[in-house]
Each structure stands twice: as C-alpha cells, then as structure tokens.
Amino acid sequence: MMSLAVFPQDWESSYAETIATAKVENKPILLVFSGSDWCGPCMKLDRDIWNSPEFKTYAKEKLVLYKADFPRKKGQQLPLDQALENKALAEKYNPNGYFPLVVLLDKQQQVLGETGYQKISPQDYVSLLNSYIKWRYIYPSFLFSF
C-alpha cells in the first residue's frame, strides 16, 4: 500500500511549521485529512491530484501544504507527537471525521473553504481551491456575518 514517503516533498512535517511558513510567505494553508493506508478516495486524491504536475506547480506558488494523516496499519503509524497534533487538528477542523477532507485556511487559520475527493481534473481541482481564496478576498466581511 501507500506510505508517507509517497507524498510530495513539499508537504510540511509539522503544523506549527506550516503556520509559520504561511505567515512568512503570506499564503493560505491546504490542510488535508487523509487515511493514507485505508481510505480509497484519499489514495485517489493523492494519485490523481496531489501528485499531478498541475497541482504541484500551483501549490508551490500559492499554498502551504499539511497532511493530517491517520494511518491504521501498524507499519504506517506516525510518531506520537505528530499523531497527537493531527488528532487536535481533527477535533478543530474535522469533528465529523470525514475522509478525505480538504480544508483551505488563511494564514490566521480561518476556514476559507472545504471539499473532499471529487472526480475532476487537476486543473478543475486547482480552480476550485482558487475560488475559495478569491471569494474570501472579494467578500471578506460576508464570511463572518452569519
């Protein structure tokens, strides 16, 4: 099956590092909740979107990436500190336990948009993510007026 080594090299290794990078580079955060060794749609997202040249190019220029992985197989278990960090992120951003869940956050960790696996092209997935960013900056006060 898949392992963490298959993920692109530009995913941050800790969420604290992710936040710091987002603030320094003034970029949104793509937070992905994944079950890398058991969740079929998560594996499809990884294969079809995250590993596509289109997404890699877009992400390098526009996003800071963090994957909160929840592997189940013994050989795939994360270090305890990373597992606890991912659990805390899930409690805050994924309380219903959806997999995969893709959450786009601004650099202050406010949610810009959410999605999951969609059977669309990498270009369309990039457009979807980009729409969350543009919508937020066009209508910033509307998001929090409910």
Task: Please give the structure tokens belonging to residue 53.
Answer: 């040249």
Task: Give the relative orientation of helices 122-138 and 53-62 as an angle to the nearest 10 degrees.
Answer: 20
CA distance 105 to 81: 22
- Residue-wise pLDDT for 14-43, tens only, equals 999 999 999 999 999 999 999 999 999 999
Mean pLDDT value across the chain: 89
- State yes or no: cis peptide before 100, omega within 30 of 0: yes
Is residue 137 very low, low, confident or very high in pLDDT (cuts 50, 70, 90)? low
Check: CB of residue 100 under 8 Å from CB of residue 32. Answer: yes
**What number of other Cβ atoms are within 10 A of residue 120's Cβ?**
14
* pLDDT per residue as tens digits for the range 85-101: 999 999 999 999 999 99
Q: Are 62 and 5 in contact (CB under 8 A)?
A: no
Query: How many C-beta atoms lie closer than 10 Å to residue 28's C-beta?
Result: 23
3-state secondary structure of 114: strand
pLDDT for res 28: 96
Q: Is the Cβ–Cβ distance between 15 and 66 less than 8 Å? A: yes
Q: What is the pTM of this model?
A: 0.86
